[in-house]
């Protein structure tokens, strides 16, 4: 009998589907392995009545899972890369980053209206400061309403009429088979994604060399480079607090191109820039673009956010 691999996952339908996709990939490559999924409740799953930005904790959706990994209760953990803090606990590593789904955001509205078609005062639901800032920049006359919970919970609040539309990540909607519900895919010009959005990562103990080697087989080099560049940008700018930062790295003509922004919550102040580097220099690219953004006004925006207590620092 082959090794039994215990996989840690959050318990939501989306998290379990993402974990299933990783397990299917590994099982195909290593049929001798047997997999068991362990559902782990995280702080972020338990606190549903407070906006994430007000909690300000790092690792809201990963801390308990990482503890189980370090304690040996699980062998690997599957995360959405956008949930994973830029600094991992000592002894843990990202063993694989799978090929990325489209990283963009989508709008799902009750009556089929697109973002530019809503009347003034329409209520748009999101718990993300990044989305709030960028939607405010695009349509300052809309009302942004904080909506927490998993995808199904947010859709239910939409159906109950508590909001006129919600904004979600395309990747999550797609993985749950809900692509048909999408009203509009937001362009990156309107809404730059969260760092790591659309990418799945597999975390593992560094001393588990057998599993580290196996995970290399499902690692996607271009996606890893892109996500590492975005994470380096995030780390350089804020170190993990909840603030309005968007980033997207893509491979273009053999180079890595990174676009990033920092915005005030009202969308009136935005520092946005783009840079490129060789594929094997993702961290350097992220740091360089972060420094460029800081020199373009991001430093003042971040300072105002922190002084206002909105960054959860």
Residues known to be catalytic? 83
Q: Hey, what are 305's tokens? A: 């956010």
If one counts every other C-beta atom within 10 angstroms of the C-beta of residue 170, the result is: 20
Residue 146 is classified by DSSP as -
Q: If you write DSSP's letter for every residue of 46-114 in order, what string do you get?
A: H--SS-HHHH--TTTTTHHHHHHHHTTS-SEEEEEGGGS-SSPPTTEEEEEEPPPPP--EEEEETTS--
**Which residues, 6 or more positions from 37, have their beta carbon under 8 angstroms from its beta carbon?**
6, 7, 9, 16, 19, 20, 23
CA distance 201 to 204: 10
Q: Hey, what are 249's tokens? A: 């790295």
Q: Are 169 and 108 in contact (CB under 8 A)?
A: no
Q: Hey, what are 210's tokens? A: 């057998």
**Which residues, 6 or more positions from 230, have their beta carbon under 8 angstroms from its beta carbon?**
195, 196, 247, 248, 249, 258, 260, 286
End-to-end Cα distance, the chain: 49
CA distance 249 to 234: 12
CA distance 107 to 103: 14
Phi, psi of 279 (to 5 degrees): -60, -30
């Amino acid at each position: 009998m082959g090794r039994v691999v215990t996989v840690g996952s959050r318990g939501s339908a989306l998290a379990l589907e993402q974990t299933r996709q990783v397990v299917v990939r590994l099982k195909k490559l290593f049929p001798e392995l047997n997999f068991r999924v362990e559902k782990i409740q995280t702080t972020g799953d338990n606190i549903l009545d407070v906006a994430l930005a007000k909690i300000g904790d790092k690792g809201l959706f990963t801390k308990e899972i990482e503890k189980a990994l370090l304690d040996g209760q699980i062998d690997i953990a599957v995360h959405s890369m956008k949930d994973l803090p830029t600094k991992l606990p000592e002894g843990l590593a990202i063993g694989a980053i799978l090929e990325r789904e489209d990283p963009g955001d989508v709008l799902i509205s009750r009556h089929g209206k697109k973002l530019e078609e809503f009347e003034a005062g329409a209520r748009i639901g999101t718990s993300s400061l990044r989305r709030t800032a960028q939607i405010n920049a695009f349509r300052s006359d809309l009302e942004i309403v904080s909506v927490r919970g998993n995808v199904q919970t947010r859709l239910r609040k939409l159906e109950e009429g508590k909001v006129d539309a919600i904004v979600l990540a395309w990747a999550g909607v797609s993985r749950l088979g809900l692509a048909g519900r999408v009203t509009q895919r937001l362009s990156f010009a309107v809404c730059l994604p969260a760092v790591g959005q659309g990418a799945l990562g597999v975390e593992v103990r560094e001393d588990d060399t057998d599993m580290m080697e196996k995970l290399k087989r499902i690692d996607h080099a271009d996606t890893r480079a892109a996500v590492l560049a975005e994470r380096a940008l995030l780390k350089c700018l804020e170190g993990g607090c909840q603030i309005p930062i968007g980033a997207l790295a893509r491979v273009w003509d053999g180079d890595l191109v990174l676009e990033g922004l920092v915005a005030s919550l009202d969308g009136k102040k935005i520092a946005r820039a783009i840079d490129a580097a060789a594929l094997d220099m993702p961290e350097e690219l992220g740091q360089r673009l972060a420094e460029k953004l800081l020199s373009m006004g991001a430093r003042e925006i971040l300072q105002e956010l922190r002084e206002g207590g909105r960054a959860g620092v």
